Amino acid sequence: MEKTQEPGKRKRLPAAERKRIIMDAATRTFVELGYQKALMDTIAQRSGVTKPIIYRHFDSKLDLLLSILRAHAAELTRAITRPLREYHDWEEEVERDIHTFFDFVENYEMPYRLTFEGEIAQEPEVIAQIQDIRRSIVDSVARNIRQGTDPSRLSNRRVETISVILVGMVETTTMHWLKNRDKPRRTYENELIWSVKRILQGLPPRRIRAKK
């Protein structure tokens, strides 16, 4: 016979699920109020738990923030990292990469805003984590540029500089879109794709070896 839950008793959530709920509530709170003004009491209330339960999962508010950033970095890495294929149509690659990044921003809007927009803590650990996130994006773009360009005519320093510029364009465009939802996402994507292609068209293409 199936047991029924007693009235007034909540179903006990698995620790991982409870932790995820706390992190989601904290992310929204940090974005809306800023890190300094966000209270653990507020996060506990929004999570539907007590403060002692939060402290079972996280040592401090800073530890909670760092956990959110690490989770965001892992999701972002999965989104932008893909196997490097034999270079064929780089324009198609640009379109796919930008669509993928916009998908990520849309699916993880609050963590993305927390990382690149919010009033965030200035502790060294937080600054280092955000730098690591940006570095992973720049490195991914640089790998793709090297895949389709002539290494004998394009130095690593120039690839690095171009990658930083392109990432800055993407970051600024996606943040502007999040704040101006009256314009369709597709409009921002198309203009960004056009701009990125104009820059990449000026780079020396990789020489394709003729088949014997």
- What does the domain layout of the chain look like in residue ranges? 15-80+88-201
DSSP string, 12-49: PPPHHHHHHHHHHHHHHHHHHH-TTT--HHHHHHHHTS
Question: Which residues, other chains included, contact 100 with Cβ-Cβ below 8 Å and sequence gap of 6+?
Answer: 79, 80
| pLDDT values of the chain reduced to their tens digit, one per residue, 212 residues | 444 444 445 567 788 899 999 999 999 999 999 898 999 999 999 999 999 999 999 999 999 999 999 998 888 877 776 654 544 677 888 888 899 889 989 988 998 988 887 677 778 898 898 888 889 889 988 988 888 889 889 999 999 999 999 999 999 999 999 989 888 999 999 999 999 999 999 999 877 654 54
List the end-to-end C-alpha distance of the chain, in Å, as a whole number: 74
The predicted pLDDT at position 89 comes to 73
Q: What is the DSSP letter of 205?
A: B
Q: Which residue has the tokens 């009491």?
A: 41
Which parts of the chain fold into alpha helices (H)?
A: 15-33, 40-47, 51-57, 61-80, 90-107, 109-116, 124-148, 156-179, 185-201
pLDDT at 3: 45
pTM of the model: 0.79
Condensed to tens digits (0 to 9), the pLDDT of residues 49-89 reads 999 999 999 999 999 999 999 998 888 877 776 654 544 67
CATH among 1.10.357.10, 3.40.640.10, 3.30.950.10, 1.10.1040.10 for 15-80+88-201:
1.10.357.10
Cβ(142)–Cβ(160) below 8 Å? yes
The per-residue b/e assignment along 39-74, b for 16 or more CB within 10 angstroms, e otherwise, is ebebbbeebebeeeebeebbeebeebbbbbbebbbe
pLDDT at 11: 64
Identify the pLDDT of residue 2: 40
For residues 15 and 57, the answer to whether their CB atoms sit within 8 Å is yes
